[in-house]
A and B are shown apart, each in its own frame.
Chain A
Amino acid sequence: MIRWLLLLLGGALLGGIVHLATIIILPRTATQDAYSRLAAKAPVDTMTPIAAPTPESALLPFMDPAFASAVCRYDLSQGSLKLSVPVGLAYTSISFYTHHDVAYYAINDRAAGRRVIELNLMTAEQHSKMPEDEEITAADRLIVESPTLTGLIAIRVLAPEPGLMPMAQGIIAASRCVRDDQPRASD
């Protein structure tokens, strides 16, 4: 009897380890996470508008139907990224996600406080390689450091009423996300 109880206890302890291991490994093995779903639709370093969710089709679960949205799937291994999003009358937000869909940074139109939100996305290494005087001109440009080489940027514009959806989609259409490989001296 004692022997079986001990085996049960041992099994339960081992079960705890199995539980923790599966929880930690799961994000690495997921094939249906947001990044994988978007990877099929969104080319690298390009702004891709995402169709508003409908009951019949939605690219991702739990999308907010009041928003017009776009994603930019980035790969920083070839260089940094430039992002520009015009600010309209309604709420606009830019959220940054790692390859495993963890949000590491977000900014909205009011926090940016200007007509066009312009920012540069780079790795910590690329940031440290920037020349000193660049830092000064960079003061009026926002620099975001990505913890991973690849990831997602989601741009969302609120349509406070359904009639304002074309306006929100217009802002999305005017947003740009391009690899920043022009020579730096030109700006």
Chain B
Amino acid sequence: MRLLFGTLFALVVAATVGLGATYLALSRGAAFGPLKIGSWTAWPKTGTADADPYARASIARTGRLPTALGDGVAFTARADDHGRAFDGRCEVRLTGVTPAARFWTLTLYNRGGELVANSLNRYGFTSQEIVRRADGSFQITISPRANPGNWLPTGGVEKYILVLRLYDTAVGVSTKAGREVPMPSVTTGRCP
């Protein structure tokens, strides 16, 4: 009887630990070799044939087609520079410049990777649509209410993800976070 209980206990622990770790790894989108710059994270290796098993599992689970490395690199942010998760009711500012790339796009998704409905039907910006300052830097305001300048509406959604994709860029597997890859800073401003 003790043996039976002991075995059952060990199996329950195994199932909890094993499946729990898998769930956590997939919901966080974990993979080896992340490139972290400020609040932005990219996994350049996920877009190559060398993608590790975690990256492959995450691709299969989300159902997306990853950005191939020869095409570009996708940086994702879920929180601002202070670690505060994006809230669609707040005003979030993206300020600065991006690494050298032929084009880039910034897109706002909900946690499931869907676009968020808004009155303007604007879901993001491309590098050509942005109004810049004289020194080439830009500021994008992400907020529920209209703002002058580059305004990206949140549609009032509670949580969202920002994806900054650099197309035809030198940023890749061998890139290290540093001065050559400046990513825009992300700060949360006014909150209701």
User: Which A residue's beta carbon lies closest to that of B113?
Assistant: A61
Assess whether B33 is interfacial by the CB under 8 Å rule.
Answer: no
Interface pair B13/A26, CB less than 8 Å apart = no
Q: Which of B34-42, B87-95, B101-109, B177-185 lies at the interface with chain A?
A: B101-109
Contact of A103 with B60 at beta-carbon distance under 8 Å, contacts A15-B13, A22-B22 already known: no
Query: Among B63, B129, B167, which residue has its beta carbon within 8 angstroms of that of A161?
Result: B129
Distance between B166 CB and nearest chain A CB, rounded to angstroms: 11
Interface of B is mostly: mixed
Contact of A105 with B13 at beta-carbon distance under 8 Å, contacts A16-B18, A66-B124, A93-B167 already known: no
Q: Please provide the chain A residues from 58 to 110 with a CB less than 8 Å away from any CB of chain B in the complex.
A: 58, 60-66, 91, 93, 95-98, 100-108, 110
Q: Please provide the chain B residues from 2 to 32 with a CB less than 8 Å away from any CB of chain A in the complex.
A: 6, 9-19, 21-22, 25-26
Interface pair B102/A110, CB less than 8 Å apart = yes
Assess whether A41 is interfacial by the CB under 8 Å rule.
Answer: no
Query: Among B15, B17, B68, which residue has its beta carbon within 8 angstroms of that of A95?
Result: B68
Cα(A152)–Cα(B63), bound, Å: 13
Contact of A33 with B60 at beta-carbon distance under 8 Å, contacts A64-B105, A101-B65 already known: yes
Interface of A is mostly: mixed
Cα(A52)–Cα(B15), bound, Å: 41
CB 8 Å contact bits of B110-127 with A (1 = contact, 0 = none): 001111110000011011
Query: Among B18, B61, B62, which residue has its beta carbon within 8 angstroms of that of A19?
Result: B18
User: Which A residue's beta carbon lies closest to that of B25?
Assistant: A23
Assess whether B168 is interfacial by the CB under 8 Å rule.
Answer: yes
Contact of A105 with B68 at beta-carbon distance under 8 Å, contacts A14-B11, A53-B115, A62-B62 already known: yes
* The 6 nearest A-B residue pairs measured at CB: A18-B18, A15-B17, A11-B13, A61-B113, A106-B70, A106-B68
